[in-house]
Structure 1
Amino acid sequence: LQVRLSGRVPQICCLHGPSAAGGAYMPAFTDWVGMVDGNASMYLASPRVAEQVTGERTTLEEMGGARMHATVSGCGDEVFDSDWQVIAAARLLLSYLPSSWQAEPSRLTGAEPETDSWPDDLIPADPNTAYDAMSVISRLVDARTFFEIKPRWATEIVTGLARMDGRVVGIVANQPSVRSGAIFVDSADKAARFVMLCDAYNIPLIFLQDVPGFMVGVAVERQGIIRHGAKMVTAMASAVVPKFSVVLRKAYAAGYYAMCAPGFEPRATLALPTAAIGTMSPEASVSAVYANQIAAIDDPAEREAFVAARIVEQKADQNLLRMASEIVVDAIVQPNRLRIELSRRLAAADGWSRPAVGRHHVISPV
């Protein structure tokens, strides 16, 4: 029944105690799981059974406690100190969701953001300098409306529901203050699940990009970063709700694609003046493309001058005005106008509808 209802009506789980064996799958099938710290747990076998089968000694909290599931496994969305808090959070979440997939989320009277000031250094010009994505989100959405989904898990990406001028929106944002905002295996899964949730319940999506790309290296390749990344791209590309992409700063490589690049038909791709779009950073690109030429130059000063000249060429290729002229981006927006621009474009999307005949389901990467 839960599977048949999935994506048709919201399913919310407030977990106040243990959910064991086959019963552990019941929360897993829901759209959101809130867990009471110290009481709630999910596990397929108790620590005693696990010890008998595998010889492993552990505790209930370590193997299936609320904090483990909210920070490590991703099965839990949030941890609460008491029963009433998890119930209050569930009620708040339901206020963002429609009664079914055939209804629209309720619109309320809009409110101003927590702050409308944009200091010049809010988004540092240096792409390697970290900042908190929440400082951007708080300037875009109505004050105190951001409901973060899975805030303790895969924190290099931020997902959550909010209101913008009273309309419900889903936000997917790279988090430069954690792992530089690169997309890892878990963050790809987190984003994919959230995009599917929003698409199921008619919630427009806003992607806030500041991404160096998907993480690379032996460890993530063995974890299946290609497979998990494909899952994120599939979810994003399959979503039919209105999508809007905003390039805040860097947008490189496949991370740019996964965060709803123009080829995936967002309603608009907007860019701040700090934006840079490309296959990789100019420095990395020069190092990769001109590796042999650089290695062949013996004189350090000549080598440095050669590299500097090539970096200037690469940066020119990423020029925002050129990209706007080629409709890679639809508009270059000043930061203090971004909320207004997004609100207007959301208003223009009012009354959108799903295709009359939906496509047969995709075969999503596992």
Structure 2
Amino acid sequence: MASEVFFTDLRTGPGNNLLVKLENLVSTAGIGKIGFRDKFVAIKIHFGEYGNMAYLRPNYAAVIVRMIQNLGGKPFLTDANTLYSGSRSDAVGHLRTAMVNGFNRIATGCDVIIADGLRGNDERIIDVQGKYCPSPRIAAAIAEADIIISLNHFKGHEQAGFGGAVKNLGMGSGSVAGKREMHSTAQPVIDIANCTGCGVCEKHCAHDAVHVVDGKAAIDLEKCVGCGQCVAMCRRGGAVMGSTESCDILNFKIDEYAKAVLKGKPNFHISFIMNVSPECDCWGHNDAAIVPDLGIAASFDPVALDRACADLVNAAPTLRTGNELSDKEAACCSDGHHSGGDCCCHGGEGKSHPGHGGASDKFNFLHPDTNWSTGLDYAEQIGLGSNDYTLIRV
């Protein structure tokens, strides 16, 4: 049976602004069916790395907070500390970053709790008998909440293909040790031909795993935890993911972690298909959006929600105002090896780029070592949700 995914576009008018539309969407999707009375409600959200401006506006979180409070719940905004260096690698910096980005009691109407504590060690082990992660290590405040609500910024991701509801739940809710477990088989490699020895990867590696030797970067795989910070920081394609297989396993682990987060708990999910940047909000920058802002979607099924959001983005036109996707499409069309209907970036056979995926799948075209679809297929296989959905426009 197809899951219901509710969607509203971003057209507004007097008395019907985006905050009103969000509340109407969530109400119509049935969030009120959850029994919130006197329950602790973890609103899982990404507060945005300092300097990254693609994160969700706190105004949207405030709408959901108020709705839950009106239904008798006890909501709190939450996320877990990061594995890589940055402004959110411990609770002190994480809280400061959340405050700077507008997530505070005054703006949102509830408090922020960093779910895995000061250093990322406050965790609970949840048995899901997973193939890759039998007992995920979930940040304590999320594990102990009665109800899970996810607010997701839908965008590209250099290791998972895209980041949506499942990744926000799985990777985002893991303790630091849990994130290390998920990333352990997703180690990047250095493409020597593209590496210029600039040292940006060495500078930003939190684990002393990357060093420039004889003008080229080298990764110490004994120290590398697979966090992917070098991939995100490199602008020249010098640091890349090792293989599609390693990215697939990362997605499978994220699925199992998401299953642990939701195990036995009422849950609901809201995704904002806005400012669809090519990479994650974890980095201290965000590149230009690749498609126009499309809308907001909501569902009780995180897998169906992610599938619907991916379909909406892939059906949308690429913005031609200068972004990573349009640059790559332009390079693909002008490489001199093919043209017109056979061009991989226009959904053709892609003869010059076998396995390239084409811009009919924008995320795989941006990050060709990833295959987000296999992640959703595995999520369905383990009972996290369904790839079958009905889109209901509100």
- TM-score (ref. length: structure 2): 0.27
More helix by share: 1
Higher RCO (C-alpha under 8 Å, 6+ residues apart): 2
State TM-score, norm by structure 1: 0.29
Greater radius of gyration (CA):
1
